[in-house]
Structure formats: structure tokens, C-alpha cells
Chains A and B, each alone.
Chain A
Amino acid sequence: MATQTLPTDPAAPHVPGVAPSAGAPRRDREPGRGRRWLLGVWSTLAILFLVAPILFMIVFSFNDNQGRFNFEWRGFTLKHWADPFANADLAKALENSLLIAVLSTVVATAMGTLLAIALVRHRFRGRTPTDFFVFLPMASPEVVMGASLLAMFLVLGVGTGFGTILVAHIMFSISYVVVTVKSRLEGMDPHIEEAAKDLGAGEVSTFFRVTLPTIAPGVAAAAVLAFALSIDDYIVTSFNAGQTQTFPLYIFGATKQGVPPQVNVLSTMLLILVLGLMLLNVVVQRRLAARDRAARA
């Protein structure tokens, strides 16, 4: 069945090496050919919409521009790629951004995951208000969070800089982590944990051996989200950055004076790095799944 539909399906993504999926669920009464085709086209267009400005940005990293601005196509060059770190401040800003993103992701994911577990697994008093409270940061405009946090740091005499950016990023990431992990936990059968406890496992070992492995995909998704929120934050960061430059701050400043093509180059490199890491993750997971299947067979 799957072998008949998938490869001939014009909606299938045009990726080299498309092979029929052995694991595709069996479906009765496939919708008409036309409708399936439409769905594929729609999805492809939607993805094109999402990546169009990114492609545009990559193309202009090869632009042979003459002045400070990089708006008009003046011919192909590799000169910006030859020396991507030519602009030391830009490189430093990227380094800061990456470091802040990694640190805030680790801390926010840890705190948020624990908080989500407490909220879903335990019927403690004060759960509903806590639930609501955790949700509030997501409903607050960023400019409010940024400005009020700065006001507090100033009153307490805390100098703004790398540390305060980190604190702020952890703050606004926690809620997103909680929400993402919670949805995974809610989809999980609580009886598994109970069974583990009935079988004599303690709280701690149940947590590490049962709960955590089950929600791992949710935690991973939350971590990706936290990383993405941090690496692209402009508004909150701009208030609490002091003299520390981050990548988005640099870009925003540069849009006023002309964005140097190295920004395009470094953005593209960052994208390739992230892409590589995620593909690696996909490959590893597929390997693991294959080994699993082999072990079961």
C-alpha cells in the first residue's frame, strides 16, 4: 500500500533518496488524488514562505557591494566568506549570544522541567495559582518585562551586562519550557510511574529511570525553543545588556548604519551549525530506533 502511494505521490518532497516508508500507517480510503496533491503543494508553499527571506539573506552574503549598504545586487563574490570574522565586534557579539543561549537553555530547561513535573504530577495546594502565574510571563509584552527588570537592577545597584542578560533570558524561557514539557507529560500515562513505585522504585529512581526518559522528547523540544528564544531576543536584551553586545543587538544597530555582509555570512554559518546539529540528532535517533527494532526482532 505504502509503496504504491508514496513514491508516486507528487506531493512527496523532492528530496534525493526518497524511499517508501516501511513504517507508514495503513490507511483505508485515501482521499482523492487531487486533494492529496493540493495538500502537498500547500505545504511546500508554506515552507517556501518560511524560508524565502533566509534564502534571500544567504544570496546577499555573496553580494559584491561597494558602499556600507548591502541592498543592491552588484555581482557575485566570495570575499565576505573568505574572512567571516573580519569584524571582531561582530564575532564577539555572536560568541556572547551563543554562550548566553547555551547557558540560559540549560538552566531554564532544568528549572522549567522540574516545575512542569510538579504541576502535572502532584496535586499540591496552590497548583492552580502557580499554573496561572507561570503562564503570565507569556502574556506580558517584552518591552514591559525588559524595562521593569532594568528598573529593578538599577535600584539594587546591579551592573547590567552579560549576567543580567542571562538572568533575563532564563526568566522568559522558563514559562515556554514549562508549557512544552507539560503538554508532553499530560500525554503520558501516569500509571507507568505508579507501577514503578509499586514495584519498589523510590521517588528519585522513578524520576530518573521512568519519568525523564519518557518526557525526553518534550524536554528536547523545550530546550530547542529556549535556545531559539534566547539567541534571537532583541527587546528584553536591549534593556539589560549594559555594554555587552549580542548578535541581534549588533544587527539592529547595524540596520541603522548599513548591515555589513559579514552579518549575512555569520548568520548563514550559524544556521548551518544548528542544521548540522539537528540532522545529527535525527540520524542518531534513527540509529537508536533501528537498534531497538533489531533488538525486538
Chain B
Amino acid sequence: MREDDARAQSALEQAMDDQVLTGRTSRRRFVGRSAGAALMATGLASVLSACGITGTATKNVEQLEQEAADVRHPKVPIGNWTFSNWPLYMDKSVLTAFNRKYGGKVKYVEDINDNNDFFGKVRQQLTQDKPIGRDIVVLTDPMASRWVRSGFVTPYDFRNVPNRDNLVSTLQSISYDPKRQFTLPFQSGAIGIGYDIRATGRELTSMKEFFNPEFKGKCTMLAEPYDSASSVLIMQGKNPANATIDDMLGAVEFIADAAGKGQFRRFTGNDYTTDLTKGNVELVMAYSGDMVQLQADNPNLRFAYPEEGAVLFTDNLMLPANVAHPYAAETMLNYLYEPDVAAKLCAYINYISPVSGIREILEKSDPDIAKNELIFPTDEIRERLKVYPSLSTIEEQRMYEAMAKVTGA
């Protein structure tokens, strides 16, 4: 490919030299030449894309599981390795302590702002079976699922992660990774009702409030269909975990009807936070972890787990395919599952930790956090938490297309 590039360049220079050396050429000849150069550039471009765009065809799950059973990552020195995560999603002192304890140096980058954006950036390396230069990435359930079923992951060696036994029982199995061979939860959160009690004048408990004419134009809905459509399914009494694409499209349709009547002021990502704090809206579909932070500045803001149930989303630690430093990554996974470390992290991030036994630790060090229902949901609430459906890549595309029509893009 580089050779072609060089050849095209030298040909171009040749053309320019010719042009100059022959002196007075007719205008027509020049036009011919520049057309030639343009053709050359097109030729180069078509070489670039001759192979088309590789798809993310699904791998054989049994084959993957077989690989996972055989995986063995011997103990090696930690060295320099890379951990990619979301912004403000890590207590940096945990990293320093890790370096001190195990040696080596972790390059910690906060370059994941959005699951889809991130995937768009590394997609081509993954489909060409090349390393992406990261040893751990943190991805939310649907994207984690896509990576697992496309074979973009490396299974981790259980022997190097004995602390995985500390994973809470409710998360020990998930549809796309029933034995947790490829993913390990980092943090979880719930999607629920965020509101300003001064504005509403009453407590809200039902998802139905989002479709209540009382809040017409005064509420926001999440633009991510996995979040909003799954929540609507729960409201309708269905479990999103085993929903089909048609169920999801039906839910999107339901949202579209309300949107058409002007029910929602906006469709948002995390940016509903400004609309709620500034009083532009009274009711938002919110992520629990954001609400903990918003309450620190404004105690009138409330978060409720909907009585019908709520979506529990999980961000997962994963080793990408062709990972360069699997042992270092596994050592970090194991470290993050030490209850003391997990407790420290939980106190910093304020999302729901997947590590069991940390509440007892926090009751001593940080009783406010240990008492917070948004961080430690009661058993009764936990029973009402549901996970996302698992869809194929093509079904996902259909769902996103339908939702884009509703959000105007």
C-alpha cells in the first residue's frame, strides 16, 4: 500500500516536472494532465477501498468458549501497559497503589466518551484482527455484547483473577457471556426517574409519569434506545432481558407517538443534568450515579427507582483481541476486585459496585455512602432491576435507525 502511495507521488511529481520542462503547453494539454493527476488520485483511493469495508460477522460462540477454557496467561513482569476508561471513572490513587504493589507502570487513558464513538475509532483494527493498543477497555453491556459475539475479546485466565469470586451473585451470568469468561463488571447503574421535588410538588414513583400530559414539554427522554426503549418495556410489564427486536421497535414507536405530541422537551445523553438543575424541565430519565452527584449541590433533586422496575446497566472490564499484556490486565482485574480497593473506588465514583462485601467496609469509613440507596440498592429494589436485551448487529442497526427518526437525526 505504501509502495502505491510512493509510486503515485513520484508519478505526480513527474507530471509536474514535465509540465514545467516542456514550457509552453496548450491549455488543453494542461487540463488533460490535471485530469490525469486526478485520475491517479482516484486510482490510489480505489486501491485503498478495493477490499470494501469488512463486516463484524459473528464468530462461533462454542469456538470462543472452547478458546476461553484453554486460555493460559503465564505470570510475567507487569511492564508498561495500557488501561482505557471513561473520564472521571477512576480514583487515581488506586492506580498509584497498583503500580507500587505490582511494579510496572499503567498508562491510564480516559479516551472512551461514548461506546459507539469509541467503537468507530477502533473498529477497523478489530475487524482486521490487529491489536488496538489497549490492554483493558471498559464498555457498556450492549457494546460488550457486540465485542464478545464478534470475537473482539480475549478471554481472561481465571487462575490470575481469583477475586472474581467476590462478584455479586446477580451479575455472575449475563446473556452474552453466561460464564463471565470475557467480561467482568466494573460498575453498574440504574436508569430511573430524576425530578425536582419543588417543581413537581409530589413524589414520583412510576415510569408512566414520562407519558403523563401534566409533564408535557417538561420532561426529557434518553436518546439511547437501549436505555429508553428498555425502560418503556419494563413500564409495559415486559422484561427487556428477553425482548425481541420487534418488542424494542414497538417501544420506540410508543416513544415516537408521545414525542410527536410534544411530550419531551429533548432527547438527551447525560446532558439532561443541566436541564434539570436549571429548571428547564421537571422530570428527566436519569442515570443513578449522576443523580448522586447532582444532589450534592441541590438536595431538592430526587431519584426514584420506578415501581415497575428499572434497567440495570453495567460497564465491563474487558481484554481486547490480540491483547499485548494479558497478565498485567488480569492482575488489575484481580486488584479491582479486592473489597478494600472496590470500596475506595465506590466512595469515589458513586455508582453501584459489583463487588460483594464492601458495604461493611464503607459503613465504618463512609457511612453516608453505605446508607445511600442509589449506591447500595435494597434487596427489594435489586429484584426489580432488569438487564438489556441481546440483539444482533443488524437488529441493532434497525433499532438505532428507528430511534434516529424519532430524535430527528
Contacts and interface: CB of A to CB of B under 8 A. Distances in A.
Interface of A: 65-69, 71-72, 74, 88-89, 125-126, 129, 150-152, 154-157, 159-160, 238-239, 241-243, 245, 249-250, 252-258, 260
A64 to B, nearest CB: 10
29 contacts: A66-B297, A67-B294, A69-B293, A71-B274, A71-B278, A71-B297, A125-B27, A125-B30, A129-B34, A150-B121, A151-B49, A152-B48, A154-B124, A155-B49, A156-B1, A157-B1, A239-B121, A242-B111, A243-B109, A243-B111, A245-B109, A245-B111, A250-B110, A253-B110, A254-B88, A255-B270, A256-B269, A257-B86, A257-B270
Contacts of A238: 117, 121
B133 interface: yes
A84 B34 CA distance: 53
Nearest to A155: B48
Contact of B114 (A250, A256, A260): A256
In order of increasing CB-CB distance, the 7 nearest A-B pairs are: A67-B296, A67-B293, A253-B113, A66-B296, A154-B124, A68-B293, A253-B87
A173 B49 CA distance: 26
Contacts of B34: 126, 129
A89 B124 contact: no
Nearest to A156: B1
Contacts of B278: 71
B117 A256 contact: no
B113 A72 contact: no
B106 to A, nearest CB: 13
Nearest to B114: A256
B86 A258 contact: no
Contacts of A250: 87, 110
Interface of B: 1-2, 5, 19, 25, 27, 30, 33-34, 48-49, 82, 84, 86-89, 92, 107-111, 113-114, 117, 120-121, 124-125, 128, 133-134, 269-271, 273-274, 277-278, 290, 292-298
Contacts of B19: 125-126
A258 B270 CA distance: 9
Given A250-B87, A260-B88, A245 B269 contact: no
A152 B2 CA distance: 11
Contact of B5 (A65, A67, A129, A156): A156
A88 B92 contact: yes
A66 B294 CA distance: 9
A157 B48 CA distance: 11
Contacts, number: 110
A16 to B, nearest CB: 36
Nearest to A153: B124
Nearest to B31: A129
B351 to A, nearest CB: 11
A48 B296 CA distance: 33
Contacts of B111: 241-243, 245, 249, 253
Contacts of A65: 296-297
Contacts of B133: 159, 242-243
B323 to A, nearest CB: 15
B144 to A, nearest CB: 18
A205 to B, nearest CB: 23
Contact of B271 (A152, A154, A255): A255
Contacts of B49: 151, 155
Nearest to A257: B88
Contacts of B117: 238
Contacts of A150: 121, 124
A126 B30 contact: yes
Contacts of A255: 270-271
A207 B306 CA distance: 73
B28 to A, nearest CB: 11
Nearest to B51: A155
A252 B114 CA distance: 10
A146 B33 CA distance: 29
A9 B205 CA distance: 63
B84 A243 contact: yes
Contact of B87 (A88, A129, A155, A257): A257
Nearest to A74: B297
A126 B290 CA distance: 58
Contact of B124 (A67, A151, A241, A254): A151
Contacts of B48: 151-152, 155-156
A60 B254 CA distance: 40
A150 B19 CA distance: 33
B126 to A, nearest CB: 11
A191 to B, nearest CB: 25
A69 B30 contact: no
Given A71-B273, A125-B27, A254 B87 contact: yes
B88 A68 contact: yes
B168 to A, nearest CB: 24
Given A89-B110, A151-B124, A67 B1 contact: no
A50 B171 CA distance: 51
Nearest to A255: B271
Nearest to B30: A125
Contact of B25 (A125, A151, A157, A239): A125
A72 B5 CA distance: 54
A151 B47 CA distance: 12
A159 B1 CA distance: 15
Given A238-B117, A250-B87, A72 B293 contact: no
Contacts of B124: 150-151, 154-155
A258 B110 contact: no
